[in-house]
Amino acid sequence: MEQYSSIIMLVLMGLVFYFLLIRPQQKRMKEHKALIDGLKRGDEVITQGGMIGKIAKVTDEEVTLDLGEGVKVRIVRSTIADVKGRTAPKPANDSKTDAKKDDKEIG
């Protein structure tokens, strides 16, 4: 009977480690991969080194960050920690809606 209780305790400890350590880590890795895959030009990002800049160019393995005043830095995509500001896609230009906007502004 004592052998079974020690085996049950080991199994329970394994389950606790899985749900408290392994599973949350896998979830964070999955979210980070989705964040890295969704990068596009114009996004404002924060690197793991603490630099904040806008993405000027995205390739398969690298990202070119514009840090301001003409300073551009190439970094590895996986070193991006967070996206601070996402760029919204521009709406399609419709000449009729643009003309209506101009009329409202004038009169």
pLDDT at residue 71, as a whole number:
94
**Would the pLDDT of 96 be above 80?**
no
Closest CA to 72 of 84, 83, 57, 60: 57
- Higher confidence at residue 21 or residue 96? 21
pLDDT: which is higher, 107 or 106: 106
Q: What pLDDT, on a 0 to 100 scale, did the predictor assign at position 107?
A: 46
Check whether 91 has a pLDDT greater than 80.
no
- Alpha-carbon distance values, 46 to 29, 78, 85 (Å): 17, 12, 10
What are the tens digits of pLDDT across the range 59-88? 989 999 999 998 999 999 999 999 987 766
Residue-wise pLDDT for 19-62, tens only, equals: 999 999 999 999 999 999 999 999 999 999 999 999 999 998 99
Where do the domains of the chain lie, and which CATH numbers do they carry?
2-88 (2.30.30)
